Amino acid sequence: MQAPFTTLSEFRETLAKAPESHATAFQGAQDRNSQLTKPPGALGRLEDLAIWYAGWRGNPKPQINAPQVVIFAGNHGVCAQGVSAFPPEVTEQMVANFEHGGAAINQLSKAFGATMNVHALSLDTPTADFTQAPAMTEAEVVSALQIGWAAVDPASDLLVTGEMGIGNTTSAAAVAAAVLGGDAADWTGRGTGVDDAGLARKAEVVAKGVALHASSDPLEALRCLGGRELAAMAGAIAAARHCRIPVILDGFICCAAAATLAKAVDGALDHAVAGHQSAEAAHARLLTALGKEPLLSLGLRLGEGSGAALAIGILKGAVACHSGMLTFAEAGVSAG
């Protein structure tokens, strides 16, 4: 699916013109839910999820048959500042692992019937060190947004975006701090497991980058402080909205990318739910800022889209109950 934008300004306009949920299908799903063979509210949040999903799919009795998981990988120049416990070459090695089916996200995608695609974005050309210069030029960030957009299969009915990129928790922390405000240290976590000295160094790097690239424009924050994989996830999430495909957000890095959309255009994430709250220190704060209540909280800190992929099962269960249960009239049960 070709992206309908060639500049950041055009991307913002595309976001602003995104379609809304189908009101008629949403109401139809609410009506159906009230007639199902269960006490009112007995399925708790599953009921709200199914109705939300139905509205976005334009079908009051939907099914989930074609979930898609898309993983984007990128390398970060800011790794030169010693912000990660792992060397940058691990990014490419993990991409090979994804492609050979050996990672956790491969197993979770398979378990929940999702197709999985991997896109490596110019791994041999890391973004610039954002403590010295903008991470990406406009052409580079737009290219990454376009790759993300094009990666979404319009025939899919649910999207999970994941990432791989050594140093990207530092990039995500910088984006979050720039877009949402607050002290750099409050947004900076241990990522893949840096020690106390490494954590302090990361916070200093984040603060330096945010100060250097101060801007009120969230898309500029994505360009100056983000990574190609963050931009690609943002592009994919936007493309899903264009196609009315519901999205399950993953962990801290995915949500930081998504925050740039939410702050660029009000309501840009109405088609998305949070799959989980990760163990990364600032993820809970980020979810609160986005107004998203996580479906799961299992102490995960892997990335790769793993927490969101696991949440596919919850959404599938919600929709299966909503669409598969009989109404009181159909079952011949007294409604009381």
Active site residues: 304
Structure tokens at 92: 């490419």
Structure tokens at 233: 């996830």
* Parallel/antiparallel/unpaired status of strands 272-274 and 115-120: unpaired
Q: Where are the beta strands (DSSP E) in 235-295?
A: 247-249, 272-274
Name beta bridge partners: 119.
Answer: 72
- CB-CB contact of 263 with 181 (8 Å): no
Nearest Cα residue to 55 out of 67, 43, 47: 47
Could you identify the residue written with the tokens 């925050």? 259
Residue type, 268: A
Structure tokens at 186: 């409050």
d(CA 325, CA 336): 18
Burial of 264 (0-12, 13-18, 19+ CB in 10 A): buried
